[in-house]
Structure 1
Amino acid sequence: MTLAPAPKPAVAPPSPHPRRWAGLAVLSASLLLVVMDMTILNVALPAVSADLRPGAVELLWMVDVYSLVVSGLLVTVSALGDRWGRKRTLLTGFTIFGLASTAVLWAGSPGEVIAVRALLGVGGAMIMPSTLSMIRTLFTDARERATALGVWSAMASLGAALGPILGGLLLEHFSWHAAFLVNVPVMVVAIVAGLLLLPESRNPAPGRWDAFGTVLSIAGMVALVYSIKQFGKEGAAGPGPWIALAVAAVTLTWFVRRCLGRPDPLLEVRLFRSRPFTAGTLVAVTTSIAMAAVMLLMAQWMQLVQGHSPLETGMRLLPTALGALLMSPPAPWLAARFGTRPVLAGGLAVSGLGLGLLPAVPATYPWIALSLFLLGLGMGSLAIASVAIMAGTPPQKAGSAAAIEETSYELGGALGVAVLGSLAAVVYRGALPPAPAGGGLPGPAADAVRESLGGALEVARQAGAAGAELARQAKAAFTTSLEVTGLAGGLLMLAAALAVWWLVPRDLDVTASHH
């Protein structure tokens, strides 16, 4: 009697990590803190300026050095995490972030605050993509991963909203140092929890490290973000931004070609061959562009036009976070039920509609709150963008995918402030009467009025009773610039919605398991 050959055992899918949900809690909490920290500092900057009296250039570096360092290091640090270990990279990031936050106690000059901000950028660059790539490796089931990324997305939105509120609270009771020191206890908890709960993961076959590629990526990204920021501040007249842009174009083209030519590239550029991946990245960029610019202008409008304190302003910006929190967790379910394409494109369209409302409704808070809520609601459904980016990515390339997504957010933020911020400045100047306050202002004062709303209000304050009309004109001009910028951001998001509808296949379901 011959025995029939035994059937080959089916390859079992990798078993889910037993502590994955506890791990997600650590990752989400750390992301919440890093995002909060970025926004807290925006609120704290006036207090830092008043105390340390930085020059104009020093003040710019205080603001910009963080994003320059983060965008420069994202690619390198993500590749490092794939090789060295993502948990190790994340915990190192926590440590650097905590130490840099403590170092602020000894920062007594603008230069020292800039150094602290740069160190925070190093920590932030290690934390942000590590949280994303670890979710990709912790959650092997596609549906669970979609839920986890929904939670991750909601935490990012919540952090951006809570930052100004926490910053306002801290600054009302303590010195500006508190905006940094608040990180220290949270980082200690995150390190302990991370050591206990997170598994280590890395690329099993990472290949050789590309040292020259590392230099190209850092130089290219720093030059690109720097040029965008300079265009926003100086306009296109000076040579500086153009030189930086040329350096960025040469180094980044060289870097991409180098990555395409290597079997083990520093950044897996070939991921862009996937249309859902490209669509997810496009969503990340456009959302950041519109959000960064409108939130910056909205915060100024609420404080300078409406006269609210930083804390009151933070509270009034909450509808955005509320919308995102409501929509992020059910977004994967909606994508499974109705398809990825309608949820992604629909989310962009709803956000675009929210921004497009600004010029169409009266500039009173109930309408502004509705506009912000719609913006957040649309953003919440964009949790699916992260799922689309990570779903088609093999686990060993998770670091590359996370780096591309995080870089998209960084670049989008810089572009938003530079491009839409410049548009807002042009509209503001154009909306002022040719001779503000009936003319009669000396040259420097007239320049200050045209430069910014803050400058105009300062001139009006010094002019005494005669300044009331000037303040009214400047506030009306700024409100117009907010409305026009909102419309531009809304149109950009609607255009992106059409592009995403075209890019994403009709039958794509990013929440389906592909074992």
Structure 2
Amino acid sequence: MTSTLPVVGARRWLVLVVVLVCFLPAAMDVTILTITIPTLAHELHATAPEVLWTVDVYSLLMVGLVLVSGPLGDRVGHQRLLLAGLAVFSVASALCAMAPGPPALIGARAFLAVGASMIIPATLALIRQTFGDGRDHAVAIGAWSAVAAGSSALGPVVGGFLLQHFWWGSIFLVNLPIVALALPAVALLLHNRIESERQPWEATSPLLSIVGFLGCAYAIIAFTHEGVGVLEVAVPAVLGLTALALFVRRQQRAPHPMLDLSLFRLPGLRAGVVASVLPVLVMVGFELQLVQYLQFVKGLSAEGAALYLIPMPVAATVAGPVGGTVLSRVGRTRLDVPAGLLFAATGYVLVSSGTVVPLGLALIGFGQGLVQMVASNLIMSTAPSAQAGAAAGIESVSYEAGAGLGIAVFGTATAVAYRSFLPPGTSTSPLDAGSSAATAQAFTEAFHTTTWLAAALTLATVFLATPKPTAVPASPGEPE
């Protein structure tokens, strides 16, 4: 087997740049569609559920797919997996751009998720293989986290500028030149190293995961739409919850699980997962509602909404490297995650109250970037080196589960609140918000309500994602 010793010298930083370039389009595509909702509804005649599924299917499918691709990378090599992922991602991007209608676009987005599910865990595992567990690993993870958090916030900004000057398919074609640069760089600069300890993989576990998350998300999304019967909500919900329960049971009993739940016995990894899932859930869900509010109610163009959002990606991109540098010098403290969450919670409060909104957006971005950096470092540095692929799978599952559920949960919460604020006899579709003074006021109230919900969930995460201090027994002879 090939050695897995870390790369030394300046070359490791060049490897990092290549890995981050590969990661950028896959991360940005989680949120780039959020700003296109009015355009998709108009040009493709998409209904509200079709729009939500077009945005959400990408993240929800990746939750199950990374369970295959993470361990697969340990078996065939993460460089080879990354090359395959980039190839699939480029073909899927072209198919998305050429989609003639909502069903075709949803299917192409699902294919896009296949490519991204290879790219994301491969980038994390390659960073672990390249930097080992030393001080530079924290800096590298900080850079990866900056791209993760920054890309999520940057997606709508890039989408807005492209929509203003080109047709909607350009938001997918922008991936092609990035992939064209990344493919030869990966082939020439990265070596394919296979782990000496490889875990077998199978199809049942990821299938259960995909069915579970899709079923639950379908039930959440369908719950708010008119004409939906009880069975249309209950059956997918029961199917989804049953599949998730069977998935967990299978992982607990399998000799070689796809998602190694034993890793969750590590307090640092548990804290990292919580700090990854919930803040991403909140930020992605909030961002989806914010761009709808700006376009439907405030009447901003796609480019105008993009300019409005800029403080978020700028602050998120700065937070990752800053946090990584501090972490590499002083080590991790129990205050890093709470500090980032408090920054974000303060930002949500400022946005909801309408006070200094640009500062609020910057605080949300900076807090999310800081938390994402710490969470990624905890997950990847806590797991054994031979399970880098499995740890990368857990990190990817955490991020994508948060993003996918955030779109479903916050989309549903906003729809429920919007209906409650509407006068009787008014159209209840959020796509009609802004068509009259009454609908604009109702959506404004709904947006403020869900933003307060975002602040509350972020504050709750402070208690859930902060590891409890371990009691140190007193030495013999010392007073207790």
- SS of the residue corresponding to residue 341 of structure 1 reads coil
Aligned match for 1:494, one of 456, 459, 469: 459
- Partner-residue secondary structure (3-state), 2:31: helix
**Segment drifting more, 291-300 vs 496-505:** 496-505
Is the aligned partner of 1:78 residue 2:56? no
Q: Which moved more, 1:151-160 or 1:418-427?
A: 418-427
Change (3 A) 1:225 1:402: farther
Q: 1:243 to 1:400 in 2, by over 3 A?
A: farther
Partner of 1:352 in structure 2? 345
For 1:40, which of 9, 25, 32 is the aligned residue? 32
How far, CA to CA, are the matches of 1:377 and 1:283 in structure 2? 14
| Match runs of 1:120-139 below 5 Å | 120-139=112-131
The answer (yes or no) to whether the contact 2:433–2:443 under 8 Å persists in 1 is: no
Shift of 1:326: 2.5
Which residue of 361, 370, 374 maps to 2:363? 374
Asked if 1:155 corresponds to 2:144, the answer is: no
Please give the per-residue CA displacement for 1:53-85, whole angstroms capped at 9, x wherever unaligned.
346665454334323332231211212222122
* Residues 288 and 81 of structure 1: CA distance in aligned 2, closer, same or farther (over 3 Å): same
Q: Once the two structures are superposed, what CA deviation does each residue of 1:219-261 show, in whole Å capped at 9, x if it has no partner?
A: 3343344444444657996223332232233333333333233
Residues 1:210 and 1:119: Cα distance change in structure 2 (over 3 Å)? closer
- Quote the residue 1:16 is aligned against: 7
Q: Which residue of 1 aligns with 2:426?
A: 447
Structure with larger RCO (C-alpha < 8 A, sep 6+): 2
Match of residue 477, structure 1, among 439, 442, 448:
442
SS at match of 2:460: helix
CA–CA distance in structure 1, aligned partners of residues 290 and 48 of structure 2: 23
- The correspondence of residues 302-313 of structure 1 with structure 2, limited to 5 A, is 302-313=294-305
Kept in 2, the 8 Å contact 1:164–1:311? The answer is: no
Q: What is the aligned-residue RMSD (CA, Å)?
A: 2.7
Alignment of 1:333-352 (within 5 A): 333-335=325-327, 336-337=329-330, 339-352=332-345
**Residue in 2 that maps onto 1:29:** 21
CA shift, 1:351, in A, is 1.0
Unaligned runs of 5+ in 1: 1-12, 436-445, 461-470, 508-515
Distance of 1:53 and 1:81 partners within structure 2: 40
User: Does the CA-based 8 Å contact 2:64-2:207 persist in structure 1?
Assistant: no
Deviation per CA, 1:268-314: give whole Å up to 9, x if none: 11111011111111011111121022111211222222222111111
* C-alpha separation in 2, matches of 1:282 and 1:161: 20
C-alpha contact (below 8 Å) 2:150/2:313 kept by paired residues: yes
Larger Rg: 1
CA spacing shift, 1:274–1:504, aligned 2, 3 Å: farther
The 1:173–1:330 alpha-carbon spacing in structure 2 relative to 1, beyond 3 Å, is: closer
TM-score normalised per structure 2: 0.88
Amino acid at match of 1:325: T
- Paired residue type of 1:451: S
The count of corresponding residues between Structure 1 and Structure 2 is 466
Change (3 A) 1:51 1:378: closer
Question: Is the CA contact (8 Å cut-off) linking 1:82 and 1:399 kept in structure 2?
Answer: yes
Contact conserved, 1:74 with 1:407, CA < 8 A, in 2? yes
What percent identity do the matched residue pairs reach?
36
CA distance in 1, matches of 2:433, 2:46: 21
Q: Do the aligned partners of residues 235 and 402 (structure 1) sit closer, same or farther apart at CA in structure 2, a change above 3 Å counting?
A: farther
Cα distance in 2 for residues equivalent to 1:97 and 1:308: 31
Rounded Cα–Cα distance in structure 2 between residues aligned with 1:112 and 1:429:
30
